[in-house]
Amino acid sequence: ATKAIRRKAGDVNLDTATLSKHPSIQLLSQQKGNALLVTKLERTKLLPELSLMYNNMTMKGTGSDNILYTSSTRFQSAQIGVGIPLFFGAQKAKINAGRINERIADNNYQIALQEIQQEYFSAFVRYSSLSRSVDYFETVGLKNAELISATASKQFTEGEINYVEWNMLNNQAVSIQNDYYDLLRSLNQSIIQLNYLSAK
């Protein structure tokens, strides 16, 4: 039996810092930032509001002061205003609600990050265990299966064993190979899981 092609894990290691780049974690991080911006916006509504207005117009004809104005005469005016908020209670409640939303968003982010770190750790432990098992089969198990099959064929040809014994030995060799392929499939699935969690 020949070795199957093993999917490469890339740089599979237990670097949990890369987990913060996972799209679901990035989304929660963005929600955290949005909650902070909403609170800042509500805080700015407590500040005095400045307004500046400028008008520029012309008038043609006789004005109320009995003077004849032509289209080249321009009238200009400016107005400056300061708006001071008088009722702070409702706005302070909105600011407090914004702070609570900030804490909720931060908690959601921290919980999701811990969950993905635990999931990554579990997948990494599974990957390590499966990798060791596949390595064993590639170095020892598959060679044993080939040896069992070759020995059974030789003994059957020389008449040392009957067909039933030959069949049992070959089934044992095939079972070893099937176990190897099952482990290899599980290993590749664990690598896919690790790559998904680390957003690769």
State pLDDT tens for residues 55-83: 888 877 777 787 887 777 778 888 888 87
Q: Rounded CA gap, 103 and 97, in Å? A: 10
Residue 102 pLDDT greater than 80, yes or no:
yes
Q: What is the mean pLDDT of the segment spanning 85-104?
A: 88
Which of 86 and 92 is assigned the larger pLDDT? 92
Residue 1 pLDDT greater than 60, yes or no:
no
pTM metric for this prediction? 0.66
Q: Rounded CA gap, 192 and 184, in Å? A: 12
Residues in Cβ contact with 46 at an 8 Å cutoff, skipping those fewer than 6 apart: 85, 88, 91, 92, 95
Do residues 107 and 177 touch, judged by C-beta distance below 8 A?
Answer: no
Q: Rounded CA gap, 57 and 75, in Å? A: 5
